[in-house]
Each structure stands twice: as structure tokens, then as C-alpha cells.
Amino acid sequence: MFLRGIRGATTVEHNEAQEILTATGELLAAIVEANDFRPEEICSVFITVTEDITATFPARAIRTMIGWELVPLMCSLEVPVENSLPKCIRLMVQVNTTKSQAEINHIYLKEAKALRPDIVKLTNEATR
């Protein structure tokens, strides 16, 4: 068994609580589906947001998902780099798994696809 990190990111158009919660839930659901794991296999989830996301904690979306109540969650501010992608939510899901690093599917949605086009391409090819 290994501890693997699964990366993911998405964006929102507006700094509105419901949009942030919806986008976070969609991202986590896509990560779970692409990697086929259960909440009890999760070590923790580290969440970062860009400084223009202040309406709510994205962790609230995960906390309301069935089975995720006991998973440790941590929110933080992303490093504010000039000209970086705005209104971005990033997840680092740490999962206990027997999968190899190459078998892990990282998920980038919406405008966040621009962050890692190499991974987006690989993920799209793997799901064909």
C-alpha cells in the first residue's frame, strides 16, 4: 500500500459561495470517479484557493458529502503569483492505494485545464 497524491483544479466565474461549493464538489467527484476510491481510503485533502475566492471555505462542500465527514480537510491560500490563473480552487487528495504513480488520474476542469495541459491530454487519452 502506498500514499499517493491526486491533484485537481477547477475555476469559478464569480466569488459566490454556492458556485464555489458546487465547483469543489464537482472536482472531487471527478477525482473519485477517475481514480475509483472510497472516502475511508483517504488520508487527507489539502485545498488551496486564489486570493480572489473569499465567499466561503471550499471544504464545506466536501464536509457535506456522504462518507466524507471524518476525512481531514485543510484550506489555505494559494501563493499569489503575478498573472496566475484567477478564481482557482486546487485539491491535493492523499489516498492510500495499491495503484502505481502512473495509474493515478489527476483532474483539471474548466479554465484550470490550462495549468497542466500535459496531464489533461494524458487523462483524456486514458479515458478513450
Set 7, 19, 26, 111: catalytic member: 7
Set 13, 43, 51, 63: catalytic member: 63
**Whole-Å CA distances, 49 to 15, 109, 123, 127:** 11, 15, 23, 28
Average pLDDT of span 66-95: 96
Average pLDDT of span 64-69: 93
116 given a catalytic annotation: yes
38 given a catalytic annotation: no
Set 19, 26, 60, 75: catalytic member: 75
User: Contact at 8 Å (CB) between 116 and 110?
Assistant: no
CA distance 5 to 52: 25
Partners of 96 in beta bridges: 3
Average pLDDT of span 50-71: 96
78 given a catalytic annotation: yes
Closest CA relative to residue 112, chosen from 43, 50, 64, 37: 50
Percent of the chain that is helix, strand, coil (3-state, to 5): 35, 25, 40
82 given a catalytic annotation: no
Q: What is the pLDDT of residue 123?
A: 58
The DSSP output letter for 101 is G
pLDDT > 90 fraction of the chain, expressed in percent and rounded: 89
Q: How is the beta sheet containing 42-49 ordered, strand by strand? A: 73-77, 42-49, 88-97, 2-11, 107-108
Set 103, 116, 125, 128: catalytic member: 116
pLDDT over 60 at 124, yes or no: no
